[in-house]
């Protein structure tokens, strides 16, 4: 490998941001092994990333001040990115867009731009209201489209995002996940504890989806000895359901997941969620935890109902399928291991690292 082959990774946030960890940092050991040099320089600093992860809790003036901070920070850090782009062979933008159409200026500095988009970031935030919401609705999509147009190559999470991106870039690759199958390993289900742990991992901004299960979990609690373990949800409770909240950190993530007997991922089926491949679903599967997830066409590409997990279409389905797993320890073990196998074969870092490195090389040679 030519020693001059160098990649500038520009994630939308620091390492605490899940997309940065999954779409960049997990590949770095493989780049080291291949002799590829790199630098990671995020579009916002670590302190602002912390605010970004918790931004859903901000309201009014505080939220507007946060948006202003992100705008000016991205603008200021762009000039450092612009300089670095001239001394690296490839610029890899992970969700990163810039204000004022500055991607066009970046392309003049380096034509080998890869844009990685793993979420429906071109869609408006439904929780935004008023003038701020209208402005964001317009700017958000325009910035993403601008990044797509200047990119030589685009990597997307799934087919739904591919359909959108194809209107602006012809060279598109799909990489779902990926998940580290070394750090994450099959949990050992002893079956000694009579209490069945139903688990969920996420962030405070996504607990709104948990509301879909409130009545379901109350009904299940009346029939079974269950507890709901939440990782990263903040302070969340459901009257009539035993709930344990644990703060998320990278160091304890796998250990907390291994406490789960069943993993759940509720979400509505709409344009926003179809652009997501729920990371939590893959986290359950890679740790051999049987997953029950809401049906969306995207989820159905990964979960084969009744084989490597369960798809739930409505309230009755949620109750029936969680009940089946509560009552059948052997099914939980078998389904969990089948989920793990699917991740190893298709969605692991190991399975996708070669493809990722080839994309980097082809971007230079094309």
Q: What is the mean pLDDT of the chain?
A: 92
pLDDT tier at 137, thresholds 50, 70, 90: low
For each of the domains in the chain, give its residue range(s) and CATH number, in order of start: 6-178+349-365 (3.40.50.2000), 196-347 (3.40.50.2000)
In this structure, of 44-53, 103-112, 248-257, the range with the lowest mean pLDDT score is: 44-53
pLDDT tier at 366, thresholds 50, 70, 90: confident
Residue 1 has pLDDT above 50, yes or no: no
Residue 88 has pLDDT above 80, yes or no: yes
- Token reading at 150: 């200047």
| Contact indicator for 210, 229 with CB cutoff of 8 Å | no
Residue 125 is predicted with a pLDDT of 66
Residue 72 is predicted with a pLDDT of 92
Pick the closest to residue 75 from 106, 113, 53, 114 (CA basis). Answer: 106
Residue 3 has pLDDT above 80, yes or no: no
| Contact indicator for 174, 157 with CB cutoff of 8 Å | yes
* CA 178 – CA 29 distance, rounded (Å): 14
Residue 130 is predicted with a pLDDT of 58
Average pLDDT in the 281-308 region? 97
pLDDT tier at 134, thresholds 50, 70, 90: low
Most confident segment among 56-60, 100-104, 290-294: 290-294
DSSP string, 148-217: HHH-SEEEESSHHHHHHHTTT-S-EEE----B-TTTS---------SSEEEEEE--GGGGGGGGGGHHHH
């Amino acid at each position: 490998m030519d020693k001059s082959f160098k990649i500038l990774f520009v994630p939308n946030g620091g390492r605490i941001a899940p997309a940065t960890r999954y779409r960049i940092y997990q590949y770095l050991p493989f780049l080291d092994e291949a002799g590829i040099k790199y630098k990671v320089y995020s579009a916002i600093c670590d302190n602002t990333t912390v605010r970004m992860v918790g931004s859903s809790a901000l309201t009014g003036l505080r939220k507007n001040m946060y948006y202003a901070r992100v705008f000016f920070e991205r603008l200021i850090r762009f000039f450092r990115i612009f300089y670095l782009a001239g001394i690296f062979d490839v610029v890899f933008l992970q969700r990163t867009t810039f204000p004022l159409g500055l991607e066009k200026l970046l392309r003049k500095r380096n034509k080998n731009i890869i844009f990685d988009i793993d979420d429906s970031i071109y869609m408006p935030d439904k929780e935004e209201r008023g003038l701020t919401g209208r402005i964001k609705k317009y700017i958000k999509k325009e910035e993403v489209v601008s990044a797509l147009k200047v990119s030589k190559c685009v990597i997307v999470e799934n087919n739904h995002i591919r359909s959108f991106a194809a209107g602006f870039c012809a060279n598109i690759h799909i990489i779902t996940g990926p998940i580290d199958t070394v750090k994450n390993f099959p949990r050992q289900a002893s079956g000694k504890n009579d209490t069945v742990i139903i688990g969920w991992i996420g962030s405070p901004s996504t607990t709104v989806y948990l509301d879909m299960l409130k009545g379901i979990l109350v009904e299940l609690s009346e029939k079974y000895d269950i507890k709901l373990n939440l990782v990263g949800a903040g302070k969340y409770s459901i009257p009539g359901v035993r709930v344990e909240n644990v703060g998320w950190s990278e160091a304890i993530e796998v250990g907390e997941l291994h406490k789960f007997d069943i993993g759940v991922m509720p979400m509505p089926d709409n344009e926003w969620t179809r652009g997501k491949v729920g990371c939590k679903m893959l986290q359950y599967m890679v740790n051999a935890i049987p997953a029950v997830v809401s049906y969306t066409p995207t989820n159905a590409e990964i979960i084969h109902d009744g084989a490597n997990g369960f798809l739930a279409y409505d309230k009755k389905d949620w109750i029936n399928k969680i009940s089946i797993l509560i009552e059948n320890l052997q099914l939980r073990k078998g389904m969990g291991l089948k989920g793990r196998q699917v991740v190893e074969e298709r969605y692991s870092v190991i399975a996708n690292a070669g493809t990722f490195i080839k994309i980097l090389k082809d971007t230079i040679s094309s």
